[in-house]
Structure 1
Amino acid sequence: MLDQKDLDNKAEELQRGLQDKLGVQGRDVSHALARAGRRLPARVQRQGKVFAQAVFMSRNPKVARQLDGATTQAAYAEVMTHIEGIDVVERRKDRLLHLAASVAFNLLFVTVAFITFLWWRGYI
């Protein structure tokens, strides 16, 4: 059986992981997971929603008795495993390479379009 303090500690740890690895801030876990959006796979998003719902339900003592501790623990473990596997340096490098490739493609496209225009007008 998970208690309120344990779930709150895990929620803070999950929120801290989202902040460190994805740069996502939120007022609570569900908000932070929602802001992470498509940066998380669908299966991890579903497990995050299960965990966020459990954290929300645990605030009410009567409803907290209905929580399944094994499901909540498994959801937390899956989300944390995914977040811990994210390499921040690699993501940053991939983002910069993607930006450089986009700029290079756009520059190449504009150059070809300009040369085609000059050829069409008879200047080349």
Structure 2
Amino acid sequence: MNLFFNGKVVIWLHVRNFEEAVEWYKEYLGLPLADNMGDIVFFRLNDDQTKLALVKSDLENPKTHAVLDLQSDNIKKTYQLLKGRGVRVDDLDNPYWVYHEFHLYDLEGNKLKIHGFSNDSNEHA
């Protein structure tokens, strides 16, 4: 048992266009809203153990890497769905054996990553 940490995780993203960002994460990623505290909202990522917090702020998030990496059970279908909805996505990459990933960008250009595993060579993105 860890005496310091309870296993709950919050990932923080700063956004300038707060209301639009909240709607984008709900509509395009389908994230359920957990809490709304005015200038901060929390989305539930899994059973209340991990949350994504959007904070109304003028601070910038790192642009060099994704600050949020989500795993999909059907990476190729997820890629096609988001691309079809007009979300800005990079190419679907297969850097390791059955591991696939792609980056996408929210309305403010924050880089996010979705990864998954697929060994179906007949499935095309």
TM value normalised by structure 2 = 0.26
Higher helix fraction (1 or 2):
1
TM value normalised by structure 1 = 0.26
Higher strand fraction (1 or 2):
2
